[in-house]
Amino acid sequence: MLGQILIITTKMTSARILVSFLLLGVALEVFGVFETLREFAGSGVTVPIMGFGYSLAKGAMEGMAENGVIGMLAGGLTATAVGITVAVVSAFIFSLIFSSKTKK
């Protein structure tokens, strides 16, 4: 809902809104606020792109604690591997089913 309000009331593009939500999820996790927000809102916060940012940040912080700098770099990808894989496989399947057409 917040994304739609931003699209309607501002001149922000959907890509900028997406990146803003991702960075908001990262910032909320870094400052330790995301867990409290997750307890209140549940999947309304964890499913959208903010939840992806949270998962990236949490994985990076856990990786840093376990394996240092290399763990920090790999931790975010490890934490979000399932979501990334589902997105790539789904995109591939839909590309086989549907054909894209340019707007005229």
102 domain residue, yes or no: no
71 domain residue, yes or no: yes
d(CA 7, CA 99): 28
- Share the mean pLDDT of the chain: 88
Domain count within the chain: 1
Q: Which domain holds residue 13?
A: 2-97
103 domain residue, yes or no: no
The answer on pLDDT for 104 being more than 90 is no
Stretch 89-104: mean pLDDT, rounded?
Answer: 87
104 domain residue, yes or no: no
Prediction pTM value: 0.72
Per-residue pLDDT tens for 21-41? 999 889 988 998 888 888 888
84 domain residue, yes or no: yes
Residue 23 has a pLDDT of: 92
Stretch 61-86: mean pLDDT, rounded?
Answer: 91
52 domain residue, yes or no: yes
47 domain residue, yes or no: yes
Contact 46, 70 (CB under 8 A): no
